[in-house]
Chain A
Amino acid sequence: MQLTIITDLNKCVGCKSCQVSCKEHNTGGAFGPVPDHDPYGEPDGMWWNRIVSMEADTYPNTSVLYLPKACMHCYDAPCVPVCPTGASFKREDNGVVLVDYDACIGCQLCMWACPYGVREFDEHEGVVKKCTMCIDRIEDETLAPDDRQPACVQSCPTHARTFGDLDDPSSLVSRLVAERQGFGLLPELGARPAVHYLPRRPMPGPVDDEAVDRALAERY
């Protein structure tokens, strides 16, 4: 089993709901707090999920894209083998990559090893923290079924995010990846991220070019 979150970039509007709901849940959750430095001055806080915004191509063909970026829960997670203490580990049963704060020495080597820049360092506690796939929600049997999913998936106002098992070919996430050309980031670095993104899917207009040309030539 490999748990994952798929984000449909054809739906993500970059609202950062998932960025905040992640912090909202996790700062009080089992792996929290998720601290902030100088919160009312020059702030620099910890975020396990950051929405990157970017532009590509040139006016007027510009694309604008939002990319929620949290731990990719890589199949070949490079952050895991480098960790000297075993604090970083990948769960055998569900593929979630976690940090055992009790074993972590805060050497931050895993932060270098991670190609995605998603691990963050808590100077105060001396440990590295990151997205846990909300393991404390999905494994908490006292929660209602609807709450047993990552906070960032639950809050997403466009339902751009889907949570599930990528190793199960019949799961929704697997089907989405297969049918919609799901891709992972920086594949060339070989980490084999479990988190995937679905590309844009522009919907063409119902009027063909010739009809427009004809109308233009004849009437406008």
Chain B
Amino acid sequence: MRPTWPLLLMTGLQGLAGGLIITLALLGLTLGARALSVEAWSLLSLTSLILVGAGGAASIFHMHRLAGARFLLRRLATSWLSREVLTTTLLGLATAAAVVLPRLFPAAAGWYPELVGAAAVLALIALFVTAMIYATIPAMLSWHSPLTVVTMMGTGILGGAVWADAGWLLAGPHTALSSAVFAGLLRGSLVLWALFKVLQFRTFREARSRIRAETGFGLPRGPHRLLDTGTTRAPYRTQPQVWPSIGRLRRRLLEGGVLALALAVIVLVGIQTAWAGLSAALVATVLTYVERWLFFADATHSSLVWFPAATEGMALPRAGTHA
């Protein structure tokens, strides 16, 4: 699969925004409006709004024909992408409400937990819907799994939580419950997330062996060898689901990188200083993007059976073997 920047930005930013708002809502739920200062509430929800806004803006660049945009909601009944447009827009609107209402009506400042909570519900839905776009495509052999939903939502929520943690550290604790408890919970979740990620790496690897030459070629006996894709070259340019394999070594490095970054976040989150918090947020953001890039770049599509150069990363495009 070819990772494109609008997609990376869109899904990454939407995840962070959702995660942040969900974390805020959790804080509000457990600690009430006094969990944070009014400034912190306001600043953090504004951050979320900016993130979701930027993600939304990036998604525009993913559309190659804006004239069709007016039909975007036409397939709500079946299309997770249609639903994404709706739910993410609603998320944006709810977040905007949480940011704007207290400003317009200072009296509403006490309603932060409720406002943020409403946005968080939408965020959960939006994150789920977005993940379902990817998880429901049987042809994407790597993605077609509940792991896609778990890890994708996890990345967003935890990334947002690390941002929230940083904000909390900057704004200073306001209640009895120490942010250390929160940090502990966060670190535990990150470990869990990493475990899911490892499972997913395995799923991705296995997906490659699920490319079925027997049913793709209609020839039962192997070994199978593809000689020609119809044109001398595999049509990478016009087939975004076909992309030259990123190679075994690079893949290993990137997978290791994802886990190493996760470890760094876990460590940094434990330090509990403002600077460590900020660093954790930064590293978590990088982590989000490396993870997402790998998610797209390493995905295996069923049609690779006819474009093997892409999977094998061969010097010569004309031949490949699927034993």
Using CB atoms and an 8 Å cutoff, list the residues of chain A in contact with chain B: 9, 16, 19, 37, 43-47, 49-58, 63-65, 67, 69, 78, 80-87, 102-109, 111-118, 120-123, 125-127, 183, 185-191, 197, 199
Chain A residues positioned under 8 Å from B216 (CB to CB)? 185-186
Q: Are B138 and A78 in contact (CB under 8 A)?
A: yes
Q: State the majority secondary structure of interface residues on B.
A: loop
Which parts of B54-69 form the interface with A (CB within 8 Å)?
62-69
**From B215, B219, B225, B230, contact of A19 by CB (8 A):** B230
Chain B residues positioned under 8 Å from A199 (CB to CB)? 218
Number of A-B contacts (CB under 8 A): 197
Chain B residues positioned under 8 Å from A46 (CB to CB)? 238
Rounded to whole angstroms, the CA-CA distance of A187 and B228 in the bound complex is: 23
Shortest Cβ distance from residue A64 to the other chain B in the assembled complex, whole angstroms = 8
Chain A residues positioned under 8 Å from B80 (CB to CB)? 82
Q: Are B64 and A123 in contact (CB under 8 A)?
A: yes
Q: Are B302 and A186 in contact (CB under 8 A)?
A: yes
- The number of chain B residues touching the other chain, given as a range, is 35 or more
**A44 and B229 in contact (CB under 8 A), knowing A83-B75, A105-B65?**
no
Q: Is B78 an interface residue (CB 8 A)?
A: yes
Q: Is B240 an interface residue (CB 8 A)?
A: yes
**A185 and B235 in contact (CB under 8 A), knowing A50-B229, A78-B139, A127-B64?**
no
Chain A residues positioned under 8 Å from B225 (CB to CB)? 54-56
Question: Which residue of B has the minimal Cβ distance to A129?
Answer: B238
Question: Which residue of B has the minimal Cβ distance to A52?
Answer: B306
Q: Are B235 and A47 in contact (CB under 8 A)?
A: yes
0 or 1 for each of B242-266: is its CB under 8 Å from A? (1 = yes): 1000000000000000000000000
Rounded to whole angstroms, the CA-CA distance of A189 and B228 in the bound complex is: 24
**A63 and B219 in contact (CB under 8 A), knowing A52-B228, A81-B78, A82-B81?**
yes
Chain A residues positioned under 8 Å from B138 (CB to CB)? 78, 115, 189-191
Q: Is B227 an interface residue (CB 8 A)?
A: yes
